[in-house]
């Protein structure tokens, strides 16, 4: 699977660990940055992950920042992106089953690397249920401001 991966400075080390894990598992990783622990602004990187997924350049995206909150907001600014902030394996499962989340977001200062890997593992294998959930996702897509 081709996965867009991005982070801010607070999550650089976690992003690098995720990239190593995904590559070892045979996935193609599009590294959207950042490239160090030097302070950067998360919107640029969240938006880059979202754009890659929405454009079809990546099948899914993973975005990480200090809390996961800011970068998830940035990802969700891109039409067609359904980014979910996950702090547990259960949330990762539900965001795929019910929301067909195409981007998962996490906070490097909030969860351990081990939990981040567990979240990614569950998120990668969980299928979307469709049915009534498809109708609800379509309602989200139809919202225009």
Query: How far is it, in rounded angstroms, from Cα 80 to Cα 47?
Result: 12
Specify the residue for token string 């400075």: 9
What pLDDT is attached to residue 36?
A: 98
Q: Is 47 a catalytic residue?
A: no
Q: What is the pLDDT along the chain (145 residues), one digit of tens a residue?
A: 999 999 999 999 999 999 999 999 999 999 999 999 999 999 999 999 999 999 999 999 999 999 999 999 999 999 999 999 999 999 999 999 999 999 999 999 999 999 999 999 999 999 999 989 999 988 888 876 5
For 64, counting Cβ atoms within 10 Å of its Cβ (0-12 exposed, 13-18 middle, 19+ buried), the class is buried
Q: Is 98 a catalytic residue?
A: yes
pTM of the model: 0.96
The one catalytic residue in 7, 34, 47, 65 is 65
For the chain, list the strands marked E by DSSP.
2-7, 28-31, 60-65, 83-85, 103-107
* Structural domains of the chain ordered from first start: 2-142 (3.40.1400.10)
């Amino acid at each position: 699977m081709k996965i867009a991966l991005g982070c801010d400075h607070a999550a650089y080390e976690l992003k690098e660990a995720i990239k190593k894990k995904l590559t070892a598992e045979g996935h193609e990783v599009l590294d959207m940055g950042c490239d160090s622990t030097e302070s950067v602004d998360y919107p640029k990187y969240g938006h880059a992950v979202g754009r890659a997924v929405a454009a079809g350049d990546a099948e899914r995206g993973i975005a990480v920042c200090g809390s996961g909150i800011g970068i998830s907001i940035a990802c969700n600014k891109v039409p067609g992106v359904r980014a979910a902030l996950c702090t547990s394996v259960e949330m990762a499962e539900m965001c795929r089953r019910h929301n067909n989340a195409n981007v998962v977001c996490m906070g490097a200062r909030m969860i351990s690397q081990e939990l981040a890997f567990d979240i990614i593992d569950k998120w990668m294998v969980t299928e979307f249920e469709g049915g009534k959930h498809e109708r609800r996702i379509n309602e989200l897509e139809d919202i225009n401001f």
